[in-house]
Each structure stands twice: as C-alpha cells, then as structure tokens.
Structure 1
C-alpha cells in the first residue's frame, strides 16, 4: 500500500493528474486492511470494495480522475447514488480513514486499535452516517483486534509496520488533497 500510494504521489507531482487505473489499483490494496480489522469493519470492506470495483470499470472509459468527474458534472449526476463521482468521494474517505488510523497508531502507544479506529471513523465518516450506524460502529470497535493481533494478520512487526504506515501516510496525503481539489474546484463540496 505504501509503495502504491508513494508512486501515485510521484505520478501526481510529475503529471498534475491521476490515472483512474492507477488510483483504483492502489485503492484496491486498502481492501485487505479493512478485512484485517475483523467483523466490525466487514461492512466497510464490502462497501469500499464495490466502490473501488466501479472505479476499475470506469478506468476503461476515463483516463484521469478529473475527466471522470467532469463527465458526471456535465450530466448532472455527481451526487447520484452509484455515480462514479460519488464512488470516488466514498473511496477517498476510505483511504483518508486509513491515513488517520495509521497516524493515530504511530502517535500513540496504545496496545488496542479501538481508540485509533474510533478517532478515524469520527473524523471521516460519522458526520455522513445516521445515528444507528454511528452506534453500531461504536459497539463494533470493541471487537477490534489488539494492535499485536492486527500486525500479526498483516505479517508485520512493530518496526516494519511503522515504516509502512509512515510511507502510506506520506504517499496518500497528496492523493487525498488532489481528489478534494477536484471536487472543490468544481464547487461540489465534500460534505455530502
């Protein structure tokens, strides 16, 4: 994941735009992480994977994320359920949640993922979910694995995980910023 997002960030710096194909490939790697968080994030993994799959299919038609968004803007379908633009925004939130999760893990000495996952969910998704989903997620965080169990599933130790998490955070930041800029430059906002 860290390598893929590092390459995306380098491509973005060189070209000023992101390929839908490369973006979708990098984002597909994040699905494994959601699955590693256990039952509490199974729903998120399925939803995220379906959105990434849509972007993979869209890559056959669109070369860049900007062109994908532009067609939905022209057709007035940006906010429609199932639109490529809406799915792009949802995928952006998924990779952003992982960024915040990793940042919190790197900053804290907690042995459990509950606090880190709660903070990441609160920062990214909670404002977009109704009360019932927020409560279900809060309850589900109690079933999250410990940090050591999580790292074992990922086949990492603490030192290697820190390197990979830091690499992901550094690589994904400009990617997230680019996607946000695509929406904001078209006055679409990000709060829907």
Structure 2
C-alpha cells in the first residue's frame, strides 16, 4: 500500500483487515464506509457491463447509501445531507419511469427544464456535487497523516460546493465546521481503524471517480456547462 506524502508507513493490508475485523466484532455494527465503497465498485462494474451506460435504479440505490457518510460528519454537514437525500429520493422515484441517466437528461433537454428547480436533471447535478464533496473530503483527509477534519472539510467544501452557494449559506457552513467531530471520532463513527479507513476511503475515491466523470460528461456532451 503506497503511503501518501507526510504519512508514516502504512501497515500491511492483512494487519488493517484484522484490526478492522476486531473493531467490527466488538461493536457489532456494519462498517458504512466499507459498504459504500463496495456499492460504488459494483455500480462502476455495472456501468462497464452496460457498455458505459449508467442505469438510474442502481445509481439511486447506491447514492442513497452515501447519506450515512454525511450523518457521520454531524451538524456541520446537515445542510448537505438534507439536500442530498431529497435529491436522491427524487431520482429513485424517477427510476420507475426512466431507465438511465441519459433518459432523464434527454427529457429535460427536450422540455427546456434542465436547470429548472425540481427537475430530475437539476437534482442529478446536486447529487453529483454531493458525491464529489465526499470524494474531495476523503482526498483531503488522506493527504496528511494526523491532519484535522476541520481543515479537510473546509478545503473540500471550498472546492466543490462553495462556488454554487450564496454568501449566507457559505457563512452558515463555515460556522458549522467548528462542530465537526475529531479525526479520531470520525474513524470511530465509521467503525474503522486508522489504517482501514485509509483503505476504504481510497476505494470510494477510485470507484466514484468514473461515476462522477460520467455524470459531468452527460451535461458537457449536451453543451451544458457545469457552473450551476
């Protein structure tokens, strides 16, 4: 396992897996981060098997799992969790009528409602930002050993969501950041260990990246810029 710059050498995967198993056995809980990473890996495999097409039903079901990651961050990310869950639920409902992400975007383009409040395409854009926010937070979390969650979350929010939020929302989010759990508390909430959390975060980053890129390309291929 390659260590990130500034990190102490990582333990072996066998040691990480064993330690994580002990934590899980003691607490008797599932590991939500592991479950999310596995789900996105399966979603990415399914997209590849479908010739690069992303089906809406499994996409919605997989994205729904991410809400637990927002919950683990506490009040600071309540704004993101609430909006994210609402948008994901809309897409899950839309899957009864539309088979793929392409289908909902084609329909909204036809109706000139891509950016309209409440449209499936707008909700898809917001869900994509949610996925990107978690990905960016994990990247920042892994960038330095022992770095604060506050710094990681603040940087991730500034990169992904802040450009699309009003000044009032940015100010509220900034204040909420001070209520974030510590790095150690987050690891405990995710039911991971210091080394297993790194492995699972990397899995999510790797598996979600092609999904995020695919969604961006859906908009860009229709000459819809991503500045909203």
Coarse TM-score class (shorter-chain normalised) = over 0.9
1:142 to 2:178 alignment: yes
Partner of 2:42: 7
**CA contact under 8 A between 2:74 and 2:179: conserved in structure 1?**
yes
Say if 2:106 is the partner of 1:45: no
In the alignment, what sits opposite 1:157?
193
1:95 paired residue number: 131
Structure 2 CA distance, aligned partners of 1:66 and 1:82?
Answer: 17
Alpha carbons 1:27, 1:52 under 8 Å: kept: yes
Structure 2 counterpart of 1:30, from 66, 87, 92 = 66
The CA deviation at 1:26 is: 1.0
Moved more, 77-86 or 133-142: 133-142
Structure 2 match to 1:17? 53
2:57 and 2:194 mapped to 1: Cα distance? 32
Tell me by how many angstroms 1:140 deviates: 1.1
Per-residue deviation at 1:112? 2.5
Alignment counterpart, residue 152 of structure 2, candidates 111, 116, 127: 116
SS in 2 for 1:21: helix
- TM-score, normalization by structure 2: 0.82
SS in structure 2 at match of 1:63: coil
Q: What displacement does 1:110 show? A: 3.1
Match of 1:190 in 2: 226
Q: Does 1:66 align with 2:102?
A: yes
Aligned with residue 216 of structure 2, among 174, 180, 192: 180
Is the Cα–Cα contact under 8 Å of residues 111 and 146 in structure 1 kept in the other structure?
Answer: no
Secondary structure of the residue that 2:99 maps to in structure 1? coil
| Structure 1 CA distance for aligned equivalents of residues 38 and 190 of structure 2 | 15
TM-score, normalised to structure 1, is 0.97
Cα deviation code 1:133-164 (max 9, x no counterpart): 11111111111000110111111111211111
1:82-101 CA distance string (max 9 Å, x none)? 10000000000000010011
The alignment yields a C-alpha RMSD, in angstroms, of 0.9
CA contact (8 A) 1:25 1:56 kept: yes
Greater CA drift, 139-148 or 87-96 = 139-148
Aligned equivalents of 1:146 and 1:111: distance in 2?
A: 10
> Post-superposition shift, 1:111?
4.5
CA radius of gyration, larger in = 2
**Any stretches of 5+ residues in structure 1 without a counterpart?**
none
**Number of residues of Structure 1 aligned to a counterpart in Structure 2:** 192
